[in-house]
Structure 1
Amino acid sequence: MLVHKFLIRIEEERGRLLHWAPLFMGSGIGLYFGLMTEPTVPVYVGLTALIVICAVIARIWPWGIGPLATAIGLMAFGVSLAGARAHYVAEPVLGFRYYGPVEGRIVNIDRSQSDAVRLTLDQVRLDDVSPASRATMVRVSLHGDQRFLDPAIGQRIALTAHLSGPNGPVEPGGFDFQRMAWFRGIGAVGYTRVPALLLSPPEPGVNLAVSRMRQAISAWVRGVLPGETGAFAAAITTGDRSAMGRPTIEALRASNLAHLLAISGLHMGLLTGFIFQATRMLLSLWQGVALRFPIKKLAACVAILSGGFYLALSGGNIATERAFIMVATMFVAILFDRRALSLRAVAMAAIIVMTLHPEALAEPGFQMSFAATTALVAVFGWLRDRTRDDRAWRAPKWARPALAVVISSFVAGLATAPFGAAHFNQVSHFGLLANLLSVPVMGALIMPLAVLAALLSPIGLGWLPLKLMGPAIDWIIGVARFVSSLDGATGQIPAPPDAVLPLVAVGGIFATLLKSRARWVSLVPFAIATLLWSQVTRPPVLISATGGLVGVMTKDGRALSKPRGESFAALSWLENDGDPADQETAFARTGFTGAKGKMRAALAGATLIHLTGRGAGDRVTDACASADLVVLSGKVTIPAPPGCVLLDRAGLAKTGAVALWPDTGRFIVETARAKSGDRLWTR
């Protein structure tokens, strides 16, 4: 009986299989990234056969088991697609630590977490490194005196840098930078403290012409609007955030306004929507055109072209490409006389994005963009259907725009909150207030003025709209600083277990797509996700991949073994703990005893000693005499005593970061390498 009802329910949903396709396709992609070993050729052959069999079944029996076969086939396709993409982007990864001369061409300029200028180089040359081992693209942070170089896209430069392959997670199961770098083609990362020198100016040609134009526009915008105002304007017009100050960025993040900096769905939607409406209005004023041509479709074509130009101008990153695909899909729906804002259009956009960049599924931008878009389309679709009922309440016309802003901000914030909290370990308690005060200004003033500046710049009047844009930008920055300064503006959230976000996504899709009482099924994955997240337990001991930093959990939070150094790992651990403390505060906590260079921690009957500094390898025997585990930031120079458990730099280089769980005088060990598995990007 239950099976029969289940098949009937599937048959009812058969007409909306496109809406469900992203769920099954994304499940396959997620399954690929969750594997512990890389699939072999026979596995892909088997998946291909399964896809063909499922397609045949779906064709022969479009009812009953047909939709089930389609779902299974889409999952197999997702696994195969992600695997094909991972092999397609494969580039050499530097397999050792390199110090020496580096030459390359600048293809991107941004800033590191420490606010240093960071250059991405291609056409790389390394001294005495064979082409088979040489990374084709490297990313280098510039420290020290760098007054000899004014970086520009297309320049060929030389510098002396420390390089290594991209690092793995700072803790088992943490953010996998290795995987992200693999899909972006970055084979080495590092830094330099000596001046970088210009070898040759940008070469003429179209290869990097758009990037150079982007940089020139960014410089022009900052010249018209100095300071943080101009940096904000450059960020939203060209995607160049290199001039943004760290305090402003932190204020925007704490007030949940950081999305205004990223050229994503909001900017692309505001820009193309404004151009669509403006073009349609202008064409309607021309009577001969309005009566003879479909001006709505012409306006949609202009909007698509403007979105494509905005995509190229902003650097063509994945987030902007995703936003362009979303808006382009909706305008194409207009060309085919279909409803632009529909769940079908959102599903099509998700399928296209996952086909082009399956790795985007694991990124917060993808998850938050589609969560917000899906929720907004579903809620406003429901409201539209409700207003067709003559008995339904309708807001006064004068209040509808403001009410729409309130509803959209609330719905988008609610839909993206779990994903933002999981990825960034932070919740903005006054984010709704900040968005209500800022998003209307962004849509009504800033984006239209940006379009006007682009139209007037060829005749030398582009500066005028930019000047008018300045006060509006200052308003948004002021709102961010005010909201972020309020007591309790942000709350810290510990990192959730791996299963939480997939469960939240499934629950959201069920709530959106299922009808009537069946929608209550969505509460099941939501409840499981909430329970798992509420019961999360952070590792009592964390050890960095170099052995240079150890963190132990105490009743006051995680205590760190040193106040400075390895700050990325330290801050990542604290953020994942849901702990707002900085590294120095965490070091001052009661957790470690002893002098510098030999820190001791006792947990559950086990003793850990952390040796650092010069000559640490010579002190192993003494440390082993009074500890169950010794962590060493260098290499062992003398044989360790029998029975001494030792983690040194050489061993940690093979295992990656380590999490320890004390258990009656011993430690249960979990390594980052074991958690990540044997994948293309970990080899």
Structure 2
Amino acid sequence: MVSKARALWATVWQRPTRIIAYDFEWGVAAFAAGIALYFALPFEPAWRILVLISVSIYALYVLSSRFDQSRRALWLVVPLLSASLGLFRATWHSDAVAEPSVRESAYTVTGWIEAVERSGTGYRWRIRVTEFDGYGDPPKPYRVRISVRKAEAMAGDAVRLRAILAPPPPPVMPGGYDPARKAYFDGISAYGFRIGTPEFVDLNGLSWEARAQRSLAKFRYQLADRILASSPEATAGLQVALLTGVRSYIPEEQIIALRTAGLAHVLAISGLHMGLMSGGAFYLATLLLVLIAPLSRRYDVRKPAAIIGALVATAYLALSGASVATQRAFIMVIIVYLAVILDRRAFSMRSVSLAALITLLLHPESLVSAGFQMSFAAVAALVVVYQYWQGGRQAYAQGLVARTKSGLVTLSITSLVAGSATGGYAIMHFGRMATYGFLGNLLAMPVFTFVVMPAALATLIAIPLGLEAVPLYVMGQALNVVIIVSDWVSGWPGALGHVKAAPGWVLGLYSVAFLWMCLGGPRLRIAAVVLSGLCFVAWATHPVPNMRVSDQGRIAFWEAKDGTQDAQTLYVSSKRADRYGREQFMQRAGEGEEAVTITPYQDARALCDALACRFKVSGHWISIISHPSEVMEACENSDLVVLTQRQAGPVARRGCGDKLLDRRNFARGGAHDIYLSGDTIKTVPAVTDARKERPWGKAPVLRRR
């Protein structure tokens, strides 16, 4: 009996090793698929049930393997078990980060400022809450975001202020960006604006972790001010952003030019910056250690250099604010250095998969972000391409000319592959593409790679000695070249192209095709090409809404000018109201604001009186009314009626049926997209019943943090 128990325990213990060793990359892909399933579900699963499902799948595999010694069962176990674990991890993480919701009202907030961000003509304070009026301790909100007009305080300052706060807003369009979901996983319970004058206070009783985080935040912004004062004026904002992660000082025109030229990736500290910064430290340390002959002859100096590179990466992570994108890059860099120390292959698909797995374990919500998808797509594509390319080329070029040529070719291949891998995701997420992005990167990235980031590393080394002026000047002059390139490329005709937005399921299928292309064999890669082609066909044929009604009853609808579809006119109820929602509406249709004529429909398109406006869109009569007394008459003569000011009565609602949109619809469903096709009218709310079942769509359970 004891021997049988030991045999069963040995079987249970040995199976995980076999599963991990068997197609680890595909297992990580299945784990990610489980996380994606969590965010696609119309309800919130129970994590305890998911634990039971995972254990059951594994138990069935162990029992079946007692009778089948082959590895056939792994084909079913690995994806099912990995997907169930991914679903469980996402559910558990979502439950763990829940914070108390805040009803719209005025509150007194006490806490310390984590970050100061620029927002239009004002600023936003992200405050770590220590005391909160109206809530006990616990529970109280962990973090709030408050808009202010002037930068009256800096990061690290402890303040007490009065603010109007409300829950983070829902998406402004169906299937669009969800601010409430991002705020939920960022631990932000409320957005709002300050009223009155803030009071600076002393905070006592903070934990050691909070004190360390506060000191680091204050140090980062003090360092940002020091760099800003010592840098050339034209490039100071960019230099601060690259060295500390504080982007508040970058001029808006520079951001637009870099984005249009395909160079927006230089703004956010990610894999490129982390690799160049820590990689520069690694190669510098290797060079210095090689010069010590007794040491270099006896030991592999790359290993202590890798430790130095990892320490520099850790310092850069803390200094740059440790955003999720930077954490993702840090994980990848640390895995590379561990491979060097352990004499393993540094760049491989397994190391990329391991970095993705660690990132998803820490932040499952990052899977649905554009940054995660684009960064790992670029790295995975580069690994695949260079594995084939390196096999047929000379390992080391001989001579200065040959090495220069090889370097330029490598840089061109890197830009082309990375740009191609991230291009599909960028277009699907943002609805725009940098037409000349490859040329912009080819012209600017050599300067950025070989001058800007080495000068940035030299600056961080020189700052403790007070000698940062020279490397900051060099860095500024090099960044000025990057700005000149971006201004030049962004000024070319058609530099920024706009494409209509893709539905979420198309993005999911495209990701499957991309994984097949990177991880599969020849047949699976052919299938990936076919699947990606089908995705683009479905994307191109997917309809776009003809009309938008915001949650405040603001109207926007398309009408082609002179019967053509390439020169659009957008008719709106107000040019000033619902600006962000209108921009998203235009982006979904694949139209840039610079190419669209925005006109109030009351002036040119509608028949209006004191109580209503009436116009025709795609063969359908639409009535916009402001008083419930006109509802019944409007419903008799129109195909769709929008009551903007009040809620219709029960009689009018029964008489109109689905023809009517009023304050009741807006309160329940937020903004609505309207599709007009033939004789049918389809309305799609931004806030669906399924979203209300998710934690970020309803009040989470109050808990002690």
1:207 counterpart SS class = helix
How far, CA to CA, are the matches of 1:62 and 1:586 in structure 2?
A: 67
| 8 Å Cα contact 1:551/1:561 also seen in 2 | no
| Among candidates 413, 422, 428, match of residue 434 of structure 2 | 428
Query: Partner letter of residue 117 of structure 2?
Result: D
Offset of 1:89 from its aligned partner? 0.6
How far, CA to CA, are the matches of 1:611 and 1:226 in structure 2?
A: 56
1:350 counterpart SS class = helix
| 8 Å Cα contact 1:546/1:653 also seen in 2 | no
Name which of structure 1's ranges 462-471 and 516-525 shifts more when overlaid on structure 2: 516-525
2:590 matched residue in structure 1: 578
Whether 1:446 aligns to 2:452 is yes
1:73 matched residue in structure 2: 81
Whether 1:681 aligns to 2:696 is yes
Offset of 1:165 from its aligned partner? 1.0
1:660 counterpart SS class = strand
1:328 matched residue in structure 2: 334
State TM-score, norm by structure 1: 0.89
Whether 1:603 aligns to 2:611 is no
Q: 1:446 to 1:41 in 2, by over 3 A?
A: closer
1:217 counterpart SS class = helix
Query: Partner letter of residue 169 of structure 2?
Result: N
How many residues end up aligned between the 2 structures?
A: 657
> Deviation per CA, 1:346-374, whole angstroms, max 9, x where unpaired?
11101111111111000000000001001
1:227 counterpart SS class = coil
Q: 1:405 to 1:41 in 2, by over 3 A?
A: closer
Q: 1:228 to 1:389 in 2, by over 3 A?
A: closer
Offset of 1:421 from its aligned partner? 0.5
| Among candidates 166, 169, 189, match of residue 168 of structure 2 | 166
Identity %: 30
| 8 Å Cα contact 2:673/2:683 also seen in 1 | yes
1:187 counterpart SS class = strand
Whether 1:630 aligns to 2:646 is no
Offset of 1:502 from its aligned partner? 2.0
2:113 counterpart SS class = strand
1:345 counterpart SS class = helix
Offset of 1:293 from its aligned partner? 3.1
The alignment's C-alpha RMSD in Å is 2.9
Name which of structure 1's ranges 249-258 and 631-640 shifts more when overlaid on structure 2: 631-640
| Among candidates 97, 100, 109, match of residue 104 of structure 2 | 97
> Deviation per CA, 1:460-482, whole angstroms, max 9, x where unpaired?
11121101111111111121111
2:141 counterpart SS class = coil
Name which of structure 1's ranges 494-503 and 428-437 shifts more when overlaid on structure 2: 494-503
| Among candidates 538, 544, 547, match of residue 544 of structure 2 | 538
| 8 Å Cα contact 1:59/1:66 also seen in 2 | no
State TM-score, norm by structure 2: 0.87
1:3 matched residue in structure 2: none
1:33 matched residue in structure 2: 39
Q: 1:135 to 1:640 in 2, by over 3 A?
A: farther
1:587 matched residue in structure 2: 599
Whether 1:88 aligns to 2:88 is no
How far, CA to CA, are the matches of 1:249 and 1:671 in structure 2?
A: 33
| Among candidates 96, 117, 120, match of residue 110 of structure 1 | 117
Offset of 1:576 from its aligned partner? 1.5
Offset of 1:123 from its aligned partner? 1.1
How far, CA to CA, are the matches of 2:377 and 2:63 in structure 1?
A: 32
Q: 1:382 to 1:591 in 2, by over 3 A?
A: farther
How far, CA to CA, are the matches of 1:33 and 1:611 in structure 2?
A: 38
Query: Partner letter of residue 444 of structure 2?
Result: S
| Among candidates 406, 416, 435, match of residue 410 of structure 1 | 416
Q: 1:314 to 1:54 in 2, by over 3 A?
A: farther
| 8 Å Cα contact 2:47/2:92 also seen in 1 | no
How far, CA to CA, are the matches of 1:169 and 1:562 in structure 2?
A: 20
2:177 matched residue in structure 1: 175
Offset of 1:508 from its aligned partner? 1.9
Whether 1:200 aligns to 2:201 is yes
Offset of 1:126 from its aligned partner? 5.0
1:191 counterpart SS class = strand
2:263 matched residue in structure 1: 257
How far, CA to CA, are the matches of 1:111 and 1:406 in structure 2?
A: 35
For residues 471-482 of structure 1, what are the structure 2 equivalents within 5 Å? 471-482=477-488
Offset of 1:285 from its aligned partner? 0.6
How far, CA to CA, are the matches of 1:638 and 1:513 in structure 2?
A: 59
How far, CA to CA, are the matches of 2:136 and 2:582 in structure 1?
A: 35
1:185 matched residue in structure 2: 187
| Among candidates 287, 293, 312, match of residue 287 of structure 1 | 293
| Among candidates 297, 304, 311, match of residue 303 of structure 2 | 297
Q: 1:620 to 1:275 in 2, by over 3 A?
A: same
Offset of 1:255 from its aligned partner? 0.9
1:565 matched residue in structure 2: 577
1:643 counterpart SS class = helix
2:520 matched residue in structure 1: 514
| 8 Å Cα contact 2:129/2:144 also seen in 1 | no
1:315 counterpart SS class = coil
| 8 Å Cα contact 1:58/1:69 also seen in 2 | no
For residues 132-281 of structure 1, what are the structure 2 equivalents within 5 Å? 135-143=141-149, 146=150, 149-192=151-194, 194=195, 196-200=197-201, 205-281=211-287
